A and B are shown apart, each in its own frame.
Chain A
Amino acid sequence: MNKKLYIQSYCKIANNEVVLNDVVVLKTELSDDKSFFKSIYNFLNLKYPKFFKMDGLSKLTYLASELILKDIEIKDRNIAIVFSNSASSLETDRKYQKSINDSASYFPSPSVFVYTLPNIGIGEVSIRHQLKSENAFFVFEKFNAKFNYFYESNLMHTKKATNVLGGWTNLDGQVAEAFVYLLSENGKLEFTIENLNKLYKK
C-alpha cells in the first residue's frame, strides 16, 4: 500500500494579497502586477538581481516558490516541480508579437523572446535552488486538482521525487494568480483532490 502524502505548506498570491499557510502575510493596494511583484520581492528580502529580468509569469512562479522554499531545509534537492495554468505564456507572447508586428520597425527583443514558453519559470526556480529534478508544465482550462493528485502522487510513489512543488501560476491581463504547495511524506493536511480544491478556492 502506498504511503500517505501530505501538503506540507502552501501559498497563494492573488488580488494584491499574499497568503502563506492560511495567514495573510502581505496586503497591498498597488495598481499593477509589476509593482505588486516587486513589493513581494522586497517583503521577502530577496537578493536575486535576475528577478528583474524575468517576465511576469516567471516572477510570479519564482515568488510563489520562494515563499514555500525559502525557509525549508532541502536535503537531497530531489524536488519535482509540476505547474499548470490556463494562459500559458500569452502575456509575454503578446509583448513579443508587438515587437515584430511592424515590418518598418522590426526589432524583436531577445530578452522577451526567451520567456515565450510557460515552463521557463520552472527553469528559473530550478536554477535558483540548483534543482536537477523532474519537472513539467501543463496548460488546462482551469485548476485541475484531479490531474495534479494522480500525476504528483505517482512521482512520489515511484520515488522519482522526494517532494513535489506543485501548483497553478497564471498571468493574463490584469489577472495574476498563484497557488503553490509542497507535497511531502510528512505533514498534517492529507494530499487529496478535495483538500487541493479546498485550498485553491479558499
Chain B
Amino acid sequence: MDNLKQELKEKIIENLNLEDMNVADIDDNDVLFGDGLGLDSIDALELIVMLDKDYGIKIADPKKGKSIFESINTMAKFISENRN
C-alpha cells in the first residue's frame, strides 16, 4: 500500500503539472481539493482518466469521486479494492 501511495503522489504531480511540489509535500491525509492541495474541477476529470488509463478502473458514478479523491489514503484504498 505504501508503494501505491508513493506512486499516486508521483503521478498526481506529473499528470496535474504541480511543478512547484514534490512527493514529500503531500501527506497521505492531505485534502486534495479546495483548501488542501488546491486541485480544481479539471484536475478531478484528469484523475478520473488516470484511474482508467493506469489502473483500469472506470468510475461510473461521478458523485462517488468526491469521497474517492478526498486524499491519497482514500484513493489508494479505492484502487487496491477495485484494480483489475
| A111 touching B43, Cβ below 8 Å | yes
Identify which of A49, A107, A111, A114 gathers the most chain B CB atoms within 10 Å of its CB.
A111
Contact among B17, B38, B45, B53 for A52, CB-based, below 8 A:
B17
CB distance from A32 to the nearest CB of B (A): 15
Q: Nearest chain-A residue to B48 (Cβ)?
A: A110
A110 to B52, CA, bound (A): 13
| A52 touching B42, Cβ below 8 Å | no
Residues of chain B in range 21-49 having any CB-CB distance to chain A below 8 Å: 38, 42-43, 45-46, 49
Asked if A202 is at the interface of the complex by the 8 Å CB criterion, the answer is no
Interface majority SS (helix, strand, loop, mixed), chain A = helix
B19 neighbours in A (Cβ, 8 Å): 49, 52
Binding site for A on B (CB under 8 A): 16-20, 38, 42-43, 45-46, 49, 52-53
CB distance from B21 to the nearest CB of A (A): 8
CB distance from A104 to the nearest CB of B (A): 12
| A110 touching B45, Cβ below 8 Å | yes
| A52 touching B52, Cβ below 8 Å | no
Asked if A108 is at the interface of the complex by the 8 Å CB criterion, the answer is yes
Provide 18 A-B residue pairs closer than 8 Å at the C-beta atoms, listed in order of the A residue.
A49-B19, A49-B20, A49-B38, A52-B17, A52-B19, A52-B20, A53-B17, A107-B49, A107-B52, A107-B53, A108-B49, A109-B46, A110-B42, A110-B49, A111-B17, A111-B45, A111-B46, A114-B42
B42 neighbours in A (Cβ, 8 Å): 110-111, 114
B16 neighbours in A (Cβ, 8 Å): 53, 111
A114 to B43, CA, bound (A): 11
A110 neighbours in B (Cβ, 8 Å): 42, 45-46, 49
> A28-58: contact bitstring with B at CB < 8 Å (1 yes, 0 no)?
0000000000000000000001001100000
Q: Nearest chain-A residue to B38 (Cβ)?
A: A49
A107 to B38, CA, bound (A): 24
B17 neighbours in A (Cβ, 8 Å): 52-53, 111
Q: Nearest chain-B residue to A38 (Cβ)?
A: B19
| B49 touching A49, Cβ below 8 Å | no
CB distance from A119 to the nearest CB of B (A): 17
B46 neighbours in A (Cβ, 8 Å): 109-111
> A105-121: contact bitstring with B at CB < 8 Å (1 yes, 0 no)?
00111110010000000
Q: Nearest chain-A residue to B19 (Cβ)?
A: A52
Residues of chain A in range 107-152 having any CB-CB distance to chain B below 8 Å: 107-111, 114
A109 to B49, CA, bound (A): 7
